[in-house]
Amino acid sequence: MSLLKRAAAEFLGTLWLVLGGCGTAVLAAKFPEVGVGLVGVALAFGLTLLTMVYAIGHISGCHLNPAVTIGLFAGGRCKAGDVVPYVVAQVAGAIVAAWILLTIASGNGTDVLAGGLASNGFGEHSPGGYAAGAAFLCEVVMTFFFVLIIMGATDKLSSPAAAGIAIGLALTLIHLISIPVTNTSVNPARSTGPALMVGDWAIGQLWMFWVAPILGGVLGGAAYRWLWGGRD
């Protein structure tokens, strides 16, 4: 498969991830009488990823996340030449998704940007008021285990056909744990799209949602590679 087609798959997959996950948070989480709440948002992120694993996993590997791409590179599962094109495609997909979501959500006259458009944050912009240190640690640890699970679930000695279920459920669990802390990033692209639409504080805090997930992803990839003795 050509790099262009693989990058295009990453673009579409990340667009779907951000539109499905953030879209649920913005449009449905608190909707009168039928709001899906925190659990619904967590499931939405997990389901969007699960569906894309089976839709494009055989094309691009379905990273949809710069921290995953860089983590898989650290773990020996991603070629160096794929890293930059994948990351660019992922960020572009997230930006387009955030624009689509903003356009849809503004359709009833609501000031969506005032609500943050599901942006990630810490301190006064953390859903639970968690400080920067707690938010940073949470993002590192959550992404560490996310990449570790991805590498384990897709290992040739595992059950690759069922990998999408494990990976989707992992992302659901991560959101159940960390939505109150940071609104859950573990994905720099997912954070960048909404932040660029909101501007102001969201861009000011965006650095954390690049640095912490990438650090966690690298540690997770390296840890799995060490556990398996570099066999991959």
Is 190 part of a structural domain of the chain? yes
Q: Determine the pLDDT at residue 156.
A: 83
pLDDT of residue 162: 87
Give the whole-angstrom CA distance, residue 84 versus residue 228: 26
C-alpha angle 170-32-40 in degrees, rounded to nearest 5: 5
Residue 232 lies inside a defined structural domain of this protein: no
* Count: domains in the chain: 1
The percentage of the chain sitting over the pLDDT mark of 70, rounded to a whole number, equals 96
Domain extent, residue 176, equals 3-227
Share of the chain above pLDDT 90, in %: 84
pLDDT in tens, 57-115: 999 999 999 999 999 999 999 999 999 999 999 999 999 999 999 999 999 888 888 88
pLDDT band at 191 (very low <50, low <70, confident <90, very high): very high
Q: Is residue 82 part of a domain?
A: yes
Whether residue 44 lies inside any domain: the answer is yes
Cα first-last separation, the chain: 21
pLDDT band at 231; cut points 50, 70, 90: low
CA distances from 190 to 13, 76, 79, 91, 223 (A): 11, 24, 22, 8, 24
Alpha-carbon span 101 to 86, nearest angstrom: 22
- Give the CA angle between residues 151, 80, 137 to the nearest 5°: 50
CB neighbour class for 201 (10 Å; exposed up to 12, middle 13-18, buried from 19):
middle
Lowest-pLDDT range of 1-5, 107-111, 115-119? 107-111
Q: What is residue 31's predicted lDDT score, i.e. its pLDDT?
A: 57
- How much is the pLDDT for 147? 98
In this structure, what CATH number is given to the domain that contains residue 157?
1.20.1080.10
Let me know if 133 is exposed, middle or buried by CB neighbors in 10 A (0-12, 13-18, 19+). exposed
Give domain status of residue 54, yes or no. yes
DSSP 108: G
Residue 159 has a pLDDT of 79
Q: How far apart are CA 87 and CA 7, in angstroms?
A: 9
pLDDT of 34 higher than 70: no
- The stretch 25-41 carries a mean pLDDT of 80
Say if 207 falls within a structural domain. yes
As a whole number, the mean pLDDT across the chain is 93
Answer yes or no: are the C-beta atoms of 105 and 112 closer than 8 Å: yes
pLDDT at 32: 58
Q: Is residue 194 part of a domain?
A: yes
